[in-house]
C-alpha cells in the first residue's frame, strides 16, 4: 500500500477512534445506567459485553465504511464481515471492558488496517487520558504526534514488565502460572492492567520494557504490535515466530529485554 493511501486511512481511523472515545468518556460517570450482557454464545460470567462496547463499535464501523465501503472488517463484537478485499480493518471497540464497568479509567479503542494480511496502520486511543497512539508501516510510531521509541533497559532485573492472565481454566492458565513464577523474582516489577492493547502501546513508548500474554485475539494484538515494531521493538510468538497474531501467545519488548524474555519463556515446560 502506498504512503498516501496509508496516510488517508490513518486519518479516517483516527477520526473514528476519537468519535468512539466520546462515548466512553460520556458514560464512565453513569455506569449504573449501562446495560451489560454475557457475550453471544457463552455463559461465562467473565466474558461480558456492554452497550458501550456496541455503541463504540457501531460508531467506528460507520465512519470506516463511509470512506472505505469495500474493505473487510474483523471486529470483536461484530465478527468477520467476510468481504473479499486486500484491505481489512481489525477493531477492538473497547479493550478493558471490565475496568470500564468498575469505573477504573484504563481502557482504550484499537483500530488497525491490514493490507494483504500485514498491518500497515494502527490507532490506539485512550479516551480517558486523551492519549492517541498512531503508527504507519515504515513511518514510525507516535504519541500525540511525537515520535516514540521503546525503552533502552537491557537487564531483566531493571525491567518493568506487564502480563495478562488467561480468563479460562486450562493448559494456557497452568502455563501462565509457570511463566509468572519464573519471571517474578527476575524482574524489577510486573504489572497486570486489564488492557492488553494499552500494554502493547506502553511498551512502544517505553513505559514498559517488555510483556508476555497468552490467549489473545487478533484485535488484541494487531494495532499494538505495529506500534511496537515501528518504535524499534520486537513482537513474536512464545516460540520466536513473528506471527503472534495467529497463535495469540505473545512476547514483546525492546530488543534486549525481548531476547531475554523469549529465551526464558521458550524453555519453560
Q: Kindly report the three-state secondary structure assignment for every residue of the chain.
A: CCHHHHHHHHHHHHHHHHHHHHHHHHHCCCHHHCCEEECCCCCCCCCEEEHHHHHHHHHHHHHHHHHCCCCEEEECCCEECCCCCCEEEEEEEEECHHHHHCCCCCCEEEEEEEECCEEEEEEEEECCCCEEEEEECCCEEEECCEECCCCCCCCHHHCEEEEECCCCCCHHHHHHHHHHHHHCCCCCEEEECCCHHHHHHHHHCCCCCEEEECCCCHHHHHHHHHHHHHCCCEEEECCCCCCHHHHCCEEEECHHHHHHHHHHHHCCC
Q: Would you state the pLDDT for residue 46?
A: 62
Report how far residue 91's alpha carbon sits from residue 220's, in angstroms, rounded to the nearest whole number: 9
Q: Would you state the pLDDT for residue 238?
A: 84
Q: Would you state the pLDDT for residue 170?
A: 66
Q: Would you state the pLDDT for residue 48?
A: 77
Q: Would you state the pLDDT for residue 240?
A: 76
Show me where the domains of the chain are located.
3-147, 156-266
Report how far residue 215's alpha carbon sits from residue 112's, in angstroms, rounded to the nearest whole number: 19
Class of 156-266 per CATH?
A: alpha beta
Q: Would you state the pLDDT for residue 38?
A: 74
pLDDT tens per residue across all 269 residues of the chain: 888 999 999 999 999 999 999 999 999 999 888 988 876 555 455 677 889 999 999 999 999 999 999 999 999 999 999 999 999 999 999 999 999 999 999 999 999 999 999 999 999 999 999 999 999 999 999 999 999 999 999 999 999 999 998 766 666 788 889 999 999 999 999 999 999 999 999 999 999 999 999 989 999 999 999 999 999 999 999 877 777 778 889 999 999 999 999 999 988 87
Relative orientation angle of helices 51-67 and 3-27, to the nearest 10 degrees = 150
Domains 3-147 and 156-266 share a fold: no
Class of 3-147 per CATH?
A: alpha beta
Amino acid at each position: 500500500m502506498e504512503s498516501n493511501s496509508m496516510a488517508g486511512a490513518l486519518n479516517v481511523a483516527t477520526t473514528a477512534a476519537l468519535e468512539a472515545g466520546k462515548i466512553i468518556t460520556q458514560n464512565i460517570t453513569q455506569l449504573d445506567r449501562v446495560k451489560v450482557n454475557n457475550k453471544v454464545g457463552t455463559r461465562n460470567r467473565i466474558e461480558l459485553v456492554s452497550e458501550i462496547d456496541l455503541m463504540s463499535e457501531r460508531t467506528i464501523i460507520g465512519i470506516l465504511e463511509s470512506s472505505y465501503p469495500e474493505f473487510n472488517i474483523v471486529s470483536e463484537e461484530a465478527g468477520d464481515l467476510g468481504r473479499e478485499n486486500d484491505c481489512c480493518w481489525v477493531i477492538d471497540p473497547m479493550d478493558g471492558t471490565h475496568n470500564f464497568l468498575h469505573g477504573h479509567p484504563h481502557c482504550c479503542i484499537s483500530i488497525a488496517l491490514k493490507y494483504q494480511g500485514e498491518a500497515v496502520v494502527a490507532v490506539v486511543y485512550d479516551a480517558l487520558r486523551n492519549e492517541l497512539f498512531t503508527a504507519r508501516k515504515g513511518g514510525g510510531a507516535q504519541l500525540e504526534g511525537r515520535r516514540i521509541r521503546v525503552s533502552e533497559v537491557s537487564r531483566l532485573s531493571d525491567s518493568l514488565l506487564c502480563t495478562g492472565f488467561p480468563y479460562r481454566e486450562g493448559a494456557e492458565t497452568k502455563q501462565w502460572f509457570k511463566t509468572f513464577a519464573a519471571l517474578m523474582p527476575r524482574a524489577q516489577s510486573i504489572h497486570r492492567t486489564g488492557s492488553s492493547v494499552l500494554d502493547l502501546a506502553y511498551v512502544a513508548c517505553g513505559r514498559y520494557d517488555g510483556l508476555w500474554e497468552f490467549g489473545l485475539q487478533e484485535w488484541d494484538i494487531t494495532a499494538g504490535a505495529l506500534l511496537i515494531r515501528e518504535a524499534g521493538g520486537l513482537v513474536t510468538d512464545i516460540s520466536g515466530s513473528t506471527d503472534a497474531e495467529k497463535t495469540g501467545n505473545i512476547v514483546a519488548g525492546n530488543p534486549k529485554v525481548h531476547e531475554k524474555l523469549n529465551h526464558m519463556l521458550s524453555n519453560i515446560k
